Chain A
């Protein structure tokens, strides 16, 4: 009896955070900074800042210049590499092996994961755009899915708060669809991008080409950018893990700050199988965990649980947390848990060459290209007849190889060391509506090597997305033409959901337990000490890259939880 109490005490914390990626790291920092003894559970292996084995390798240092052999792809990355570009020698150690982490698909779903401390905050694209009321009001105005329970004013101060800490380089544009934030100086447009910006704006005043707003420290202030951060040195190798700490990543920022408080315990190799619910208190008591190395099962207890295991991971845990009170999964009174699975979709855009500018060049490799925020369906004037929502673009201008046609031999040797002609390209990222029928489920009759039920995906792009894509390509070509591009080529090859690695939804926020899983504080409606602040909480997908919104919602939810605890309500 005594022993049990001792063991329980040893496994008891003020707060548990499931997951150490971009939102889990943020939850850990906020909780530990407020004095909560916090346990972070990460199902993958331990990684510490600086442990980036490929950070300094040049293309010729990598086997097959970075491409993974067909044999290895077939053995380990047969789903992860259906994206074709994703698995490379420089990043494959951050990518789950498909043979070890199986999942099923009724329709193709590219579930791209990396199980290790820091999660995908190591490899993320780092673009950060605020949502606006155009996004938060869209579901209500259009009668789609369910209404967001928050508006821009609710999250605005939290964007300020997280952007300041994260460090977002960007340029203020005064746009209602992507409100300006707390920006560090941008990585500016190069001469040709500047030219393209002006040419597009002359013809299409509502289409604004701006420097990508990226979480890379163009200016470093150690007082603000705490942890082990540093100034960007323009190498553009962020996704390998940056030894300089310039890109925002859990490993160099939030987890370091959390560690310094003395309140953090981080436990890698810990698979959370479920959140344990106590009907007598109406709250969760903690989580059940399996050690992925030893197979040992254990329970951890806490006053608050933050579930940040990434969209799919979080919802899988909730669906697996079944009790008499919640027979189909924790917080699933609405039946929406696992549904409304979203992503952004891409694979459409245009590129071309741009004559002239022979004397112009650039120095260094900026860590983000350009961004053209959404300009469709943002007001009455821009309303489209055949589809809802919109799309944004990323891309940029660079000088390509200098290989003049017909020049060969000695003459060619004189040419190929020079910078070649300018090319400009943009790729379109579209919004995907929240459809109840786009879903993930657990197959309790089929389990992985850790005994966890296998996830089955059943989601697809539908009519609205297809219409939107056509317009996205059309507008891309129009803009390249306006810019004076030649040899314009466009493309539209549909990507599967998941491929954009912006998976969202499945435990959405809403006004009540009949239409949603979470309330406006990211709290499970009827389980007030469980918070979900990763992509699972999203009620719609927007066109913006979502991570900064997860971080803002996380900081906001921790602040709320803390106030509730202090008020004796949690």
Chain B
């Protein structure tokens, strides 16, 4: 059975959200804050070039605004640690192959240099072209990484507790609250 199906079973059994990417990733633990990766994090799955690329990718998708950037809440390290620990070596090889082809594609798109060395505008433009472009293996891998980056970002402690509606003990259940009543913000948990 594939992971997507498995997530549905969890949702069923726990009575939790069905096919909600956020809940699904909570349930499956697709996100991680392995040892709370900070700026000194030493990647274990990716090499330095790959990790630099991942960091640039994450921060182009989610840059610093009035909320932290993806790397400021440790997203690249989270992804590295999570994949390294939770998946087997066989799966690592697959993931790295797909990851490398995305990296090669984007390095080329920004003018045959390291994606991370390009200007912010250039990086964003390359990603937008991929995002809106027709289906390709690079796009598929990009969307997968984008999903992971966003999920891990929202599941970081800093974002989960301070930028989303964080309520560990709701006290009761109201089936039809309005978005307005929650300040227009999504639930953290």
- On A, residues with C-beta under 8 Å from B are 56, 58-71, 74, 83-85, 88-89, 125-127, 187-191, 193-194, 212, 214, 232-236, 238-239, 346-347, 349, 351, 358-369, 394-403, 405-406, 408-410, 412-413, 416-420, 423-427, 491, 493, 495
- Whether the pair B18, A369 counts as a contact (CB closer than 8 A) is yes
- Tell me whether A187 and B34 are in contact (CB under 8 A): no
How many Å lie between the Cα of A398 and that of B132 in the bound state? 27
Interface assignment of B114: CB less than 8 Å from any CB of chain A: no
Cβ contact of B13, chosen from A70, A125, A396, cutoff 8 A: A125
* Chain B residues whose CB sits within 8 angstroms of the CB of A66 once the complex forms: 26-29
Once bound together, how far apart are the Cα atoms of A466 and B1, in whole Å? Answer: 16
Bound Cα distance A384, B170 (Å):
45
Q: Within 8 Å CB of A212, what residues of B?
A: 15
The contact of A236 among B6, B14, B31, B147, by CB within 8 Å, is B14
B104-127 Cβ-contact flags toward A at 8 Å (1 or 0): 000000000000000000001001
Determine if B81 and A64 form an interchain contact, defined as CB atoms under 8 angstroms apart.
Answer: yes
Chain A residues lying within 8 Å of B18, measured Cβ to Cβ, are 351, 369, 395-398, 423-427
Known contacts A59-B155, A360-B176, A419-B187, then 16 further A-B pairs from the complex at CB < 8 Å, ordered by chain A residue: A59-B189, A60-B160, A66-B28, A74-B88, A83-B6, A189-B175, A347-B9, A360-B179, A361-B181, A396-B17, A401-B20, A401-B21, A401-B150, A406-B128, A408-B61, A408-B128
B175 smallest CB distance to A (angstroms): 4
Which 6 A-B residue pairings sit nearest by Cβ, starting from the closest? A67-B29, A66-B29, A364-B170, A425-B18, A398-B17, A368-B15
- Give the distance in Å from the alpha carbon of A12 to the alpha carbon of B11 in the complex: 46
**Contact: B62 with A64, CB < 8 Å?**
no
Which residues of chain B have C-beta atoms less than 8 A from A346's C-beta? 9, 12
Give a binary string over B59-88; 1 marks a CB under 8 Å from any A CB, 0 the rest: 011110101000000000000011001111
Q: State how many angstroms separate the Cβ of A495 from the closest Cβ of chain B.
A: 7
Q: Name the residue of chain B whose CB is nearest to the CB of A491.
A: B5
Query: Considering the chains assembled together, what is the distance between the CA atoms of A369 and B11 in angstroms?
Result: 9
Residues of A within 8 A of B12 (CB): 125, 346, 369, 394-395, 427
- B100 contact set on A, CB distance < 8 A: none
| Least CB separation from A236: chain B residue | B16
A497 to chain B, nearest CB (A): 14
In the complex, A246 Cα to B150 Cα: how many Å?
33
Taking CB atoms, residues of chain B closer than 8 Å to A406 are 128, 131-132
Q: What's the nearest-Cβ distance from chain A to residue B168, in Å?
A: 7
Rounded to whole angstroms, the CA-CA distance of A365 and B60 in the bound complex is 33
Least Cβ–Cβ distance between B77 and chain A, in angstroms: 12
Contact of B1 with A84 in the complex, beta carbons under 8 Å: yes
Sample 27 A-B pairs with CB under 8 A, ordered by A number. A60-B155, A60-B160, A63-B32, A63-B34, A64-B86, A70-B85, A71-B85, A88-B29, A188-B175, A193-B175, A234-B170, A238-B14, A239-B13, A359-B179, A361-B182, A362-B177, A363-B172, A363-B174, A366-B173, A368-B15, A400-B23, A401-B150, A401-B154, A408-B124, A417-B185, A423-B19, A427-B18
B61 near A56 with CB under 8 A, answer no
B20 near A398 with CB under 8 A, answer yes
Interface size of B by Cβ–Cβ distance < 8 Å? 84
Q: What residues on A are CB-neighbors of B55 within 8 Å?
A: none
Given A85-B28, A364-B170, A396-B15: A64 and B163 within 8 A (CB)? Answer: no
Residues in B neighbouring A395, C-beta threshold 8 A: 11-12, 18
With contacts A212-B15, A400-B20, A401-B20 taken as known, whether A361 is within 8 angstroms of B178 at the C-beta atoms is yes
Cβ contact within 8 Å between A70 and B87: yes
Inter-chain contacts of A238 with B (CB < 8 A): 14
The answer to whether A402 and B186 have CB atoms under 8 Å apart is: yes
Closest CB of chain A to B2's CB: distance in Å?
Answer: 7
Bound CA–CA A359/B184 (angstroms): 9
- B131 partner residues in chain A, CB cutoff 8 A: 405-406, 408
Q: Which residues of chain B have a CB within 8 Å of any CB of chain A?
A: 1-23, 25-34, 60-63, 65, 67, 81-82, 85-88, 124, 127-128, 131-132, 146-147, 150-151, 153-157, 160-161, 163-164, 167-182, 184-187, 189
Nearest chain B CB to A473 CB, angstrom units: 12
Residue of B5, B15, B28 with most partner-chain A CB within 10 A = B15
Q: Is the CB of A408 within 8 A of B60?
A: yes
Q: Are B87 and A419 in contact (CB under 8 A)?
A: no
CB pair B15–A214 under 8 Å, yes or no, is yes
A493 touches B155 (CB 8 A): no
Q: Which residues of B contact A364 (CB under 8 A)?
A: 167, 170-174
CA distance A232 to B171 in the complex (A): 7
Closest to B8 in A: A427
Contact between A366 and B86 (Cβ–Cβ < 8 Å)? Answer: no
Determine which of A61, A62, A369, A399 lies in contact with B16 in the assembled complex, contact meaning CB atoms within 8 Å.
A369
Docked pose: A358 CA to B189 CA in angstroms: 19
Residues of B within 8 Å of A417, CB to CB, are 67, 163-164, 185-186
Residue in chain B with minimal CB distance to A394: B12
A84 CA / B3 CA spacing, docked (Å): 7
Known: A60-B160, A63-B34, A67-B28. A416 touches B154 (CB 8 A): yes
**CB within 8 Å for A399 and B186 given contacts A233-B170, A361-B179, A369-B18:** yes
Measured CB to CB, the nearest residue on chain B to A86 is B10
CA distance A529 to B147 in the complex (A): 59
Looking across the interface, which residue of chain B has its beta carbon closest to that of A187?
B173
Chain B residues closer than 8 Å to A493, beta-carbon distance: 1-2, 5
- Could you tell me the distance between the alpha carbons of A362 and B161 in the complex, rounded to whole angstroms? 19
Within the complex, the shortest CB–CB distance from B146 to chain A, in Å, comes to 8
Give the residue name and chain of the A residue nearest to B82 (CB).
Answer: A64
CB within 8 Å for A234 and B173 given contacts A398-B23, A401-B151: yes
Q: Closest CB-CB distance, B90 to chain A, in whole Å?
A: 10
* Complex CA–CA separation, A145 to B40 (angstroms): 65
| C-alpha spacing A236/B164, complex, angstroms | 18
User: When the two chains form their complex, are residues A361 and B177 in contact, meaning their CB atoms are under 8 A apart?
Assistant: yes
Bound Cα distance A420, B81 (Å): 28
For A59, list chain B residues within 8 Å (CB).
26, 29, 31, 155, 160, 189
Residues on the A chain within 8 Å of B156, using CB: 60
B16 and A365 contacting across the interface, CB-CB below 8 Å: yes
A145 → chain B, closest Cβ, in Å?
28
Q: A residues within 8 A CB of B87?
A: 70
Contacts of A366 in B (CB 8 A): 15, 173, 175
CA gap between A190 and B60 in the complex, in Å: 36
**Chain B residues, CB < 8 A from A62:** 29
Closest to A419 in B: B186
Kindly list chain A residues whose C-beta atoms are within 8 Å of the C-beta of B8: 349, 351, 425, 427, 491
Complex CA–CA separation, A552 to B123 (angstroms): 64
Q: In the complex, what distance in Å separates the CA atom of A35 from the CA atom of B45?
A: 62
CB distance from B154 to the nearest CB of A (A): 7
Q: Check B172 against A423 for contact (C-beta < 8 Å).
A: no
- Chain B nearest CB from A349 CB (Å) reads 6
Q: Which residues does chain A contribute within 8 Å of B176, judged by CB atoms?
A: 190-191, 194, 360-362
Q: Note all chain A residues with C-beta closer than 8 A to B186.
A: 399, 401-402, 417-420
